[in-house]
């Protein structure tokens, strides 16, 4: 596979986490980049390192300030697991990051992919990474028709990559494989620029569009939800903190109401569509004055000076921006 490694060494994008061996920075980048594109993730990576330069800073941070920095990235369980892992490393391991795959994979929020990535990028251990990019490149290169998604198929791809890695720097091999999938062997691949086109069986067999074989996605569940943001004359807001589990965990939302309590005729009514990986949401928002916090169970009063520090999910941020409240 020397062709793709030579291509990588000549063409690699300059990314800040590729210039460090600090496992803390590499771990942050890997968690941010799960389900997030590089361009979107970059400013978050810089912001995190600026605000929390060490794992101890992150371990000592309060949840709202971490979620506030994470705000907009979605999949908030990632941020909550970051905090859990930071505390384990800072307070139970004297701030020393685990340096084996076996210890890394036990940490909250680290699956086989992330543990392999940190083990290879920070410690140059021979642990092959299998992410969506690696699946795409390998399934096309070898024209593999097995459906991805199961543990069994994951292990067969990993074994294949482990064998291909022999004789190369594990860090460079993994980066090169993923970079090829991210830049050349994309869903609509640029085969004419591909350094391994000569060896590509899917190109020869004209099966590129069929690789990798994926499970058919289930249709998204449709849901409608109604929220009101009660604001007092003095600028206090009533908000609800989402529980630790489930959608928007740990973030603040407007109190949810029944459809019958919602005033569609209000001048401050807004409808937004919001897509999640498994849901298609119709969200209805209304701004209204309030008389008493008791009218909104499980809610709390947020004073104007605390609003800046309050983390919101993206659709609620959009509603606040629409009403020019943020
Ligand atoms: S030739 Fe095309 S399909 Fe094959 S590995 Fe290269 S980019 Fe992917």
Domains and CATH numbers, the chain: 2-210 (1.10.340.30), 221-322 (3.90.79.10)
3-state helix, strand, coil in the chain (%, to 5): 50, 15, 40
Across the range 223-228, mean pLDDT stands at: 96
Catalytic, 159? Answer no
Our CA dihedral for 157, 162, 166, 169, rounded to 10 degrees, sits at 110
Residues of the chain with pLDDT > 90, as a percent, come to 80
Picking from 69-73, 119-123, 197-201, 211-215, which range would have the lowest pLDDT averaged per residue? 69-73
The pLDDT of residue 252: 94
For residue 241, which phi and psi values (nearest 5 degrees)?
A: -90, 130
Distance CA 313, CA 2 (A): 44
The pLDDT of residue 266: 86
Across the range 216-227, mean pLDDT stands at: 92
Cis peptide upstream of residue 212 (ω within 30 degrees of 0): yes
Ligand 1 pocket: which of 141, 164, 182 to mutate (most atoms within 8 A of CB): 141
Top pLDDT among 39 and 295 is at: 39
Residue 43 confidence (pLDDT) above 90: yes
Nearest CA to ligand 1 atom 1: 197
The pLDDT of residue 1: 65
Residues of the chain with pLDDT > 70, as a percent, come to 100
Which residue spans within 256-313 are E strands per DSSP?
A: 256-257, 269-275, 279-289, 300-302
Beta strands 279-289 and 221-231 are: parallel
**Ligand 1 closest atom vs CA 189:** 7
Instruction: Check 30, 127, 179, 286 and give the catalytic one.
Output: 30
Could you tell me if the CB of 203 is within 6 A of ligand 1? yes
Could you tell me if the CB of 196 is within 6 A of ligand 1? yes
208-211 contacts at long range (C-beta below 8 A, 24 or more positions apart): 208/140, 210/145, 211/136, 211/139, 211/140, 211/143, 211/144, 211/145
Distance 211 CA to ligand 1 centre (A): 10
- Say if residues 201 and 191 touch (Cβ distance below 8 Å): no
User: Residue 32: which region, alpha, beta or left (left: phi > 0; alpha: psi -120 to 50)?
Assistant: alpha
Could you tell me if the CB of 228 is within 6 A of ligand 1? no
Q: What is the pTM of this model?
A: 0.86
Across the range 164-181, mean pLDDT stands at: 96
Ligand 1 pocket: which of 177, 196, 201, 211 to mutate (most atoms within 8 A of CB): 196
The pLDDT of residue 292: 82
Distance 192 CA to ligand 1 centre (A): 8
In the structure, what pLDDT confidence band is assigned to residue 160 with cuts at 50, 70 and 90? very high
Q: Tell me: the pLDDT tens digits for 236-259?
A: 999 999 988 888 888 999 999 999
The pLDDT of residue 155: 97
Distance 190 CA to ligand 1 centre (A): 7
| CA–CA distances in Å: residue 280 to residues 23, 47, 67, 76, 192 | 37, 30, 24, 18, 38
Q: How far is C-alpha 287 from the chain's CA centre?
A: 31
Distance 128 CA to ligand 1 centre (A): 20
In the structure, what pLDDT confidence band is assigned to residue 48 with cuts at 50, 70 and 90? very high
The single-letter DSSP state of residue 292 is -
Residue 85 confidence (pLDDT) above 70: yes
Top pLDDT among 285 and 296 is at: 285
Sign of the Cα torsion 36, 37, 41, 43 reads negative
In the structure, what pLDDT confidence band is assigned to residue 167 with cuts at 50, 70 and 90? very high
Across the range 61-85, mean pLDDT stands at: 90
């Amino acid at each position: 596979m020397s062709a793709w490694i030579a291509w990588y060494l000549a063409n690699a994008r300059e990314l800040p986490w590729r210039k460090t061996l600090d496992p803390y920075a590499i771990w942050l980048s890997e968690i941010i980049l799960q389900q997030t594109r590089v361009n979107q993730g970059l400013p978050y990576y810089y912001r995190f390192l600026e605000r929390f330069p060490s794992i101890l800073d992150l371990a000592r941070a309060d949840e709202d300030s971490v979620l506030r920095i994470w705000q907009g990235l979605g999949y908030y369980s990632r941020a909550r697991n970051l905090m859990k892992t930071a505390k384990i490393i800072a307070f139970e391991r004297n701030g020393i990051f685990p340096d084996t795959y076996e210890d890394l994979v036990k940490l909250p929020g680290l699956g086989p992919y992330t543990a392999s990535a940190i083990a290879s990028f920070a410690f140059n251990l021979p642990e092959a990474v299998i992410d969506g990019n690696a699946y795409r490149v390998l399934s096309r290169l070898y024209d593999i028709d097995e459906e991805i998604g199961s543990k069994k198929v994951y292990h067969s791809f990993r074994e294949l990559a482990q064998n291909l890695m022999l004789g190369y720097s594990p860090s460079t091999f993994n980066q090169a494989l993923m970079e090829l999938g991210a830049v050349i062997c994309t869903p609509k691949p640029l085969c004419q620029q591909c350094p391994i086109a000569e060896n590509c069986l899917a190109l020869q067999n004209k099966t590129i569009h069929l690789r990798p074989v994926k499970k058919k996605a289930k249709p998204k569940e449709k849901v409608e939800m109604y929220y009101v943001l009660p604001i007092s004359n003095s600028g206090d807001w009533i908000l609800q903190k989402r529980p630790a589990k489930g959608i928007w965990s740990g973030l603040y939302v407007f109190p949810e109401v029944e459809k019958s309590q919602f005033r569609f005729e209000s001048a401050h009514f807004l409808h937004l569509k919001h897509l999640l990986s498994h849901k298609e949401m119709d969200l209805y928002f209304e701004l209204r004055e309030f008389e008493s916090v008791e009218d909104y169970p499980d809610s709390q009063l947020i004073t104007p000076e605390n609003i800046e520090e309050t983390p919101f999910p993206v659709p609620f941020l959009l509603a606040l921006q629409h009403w020019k409240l943020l």
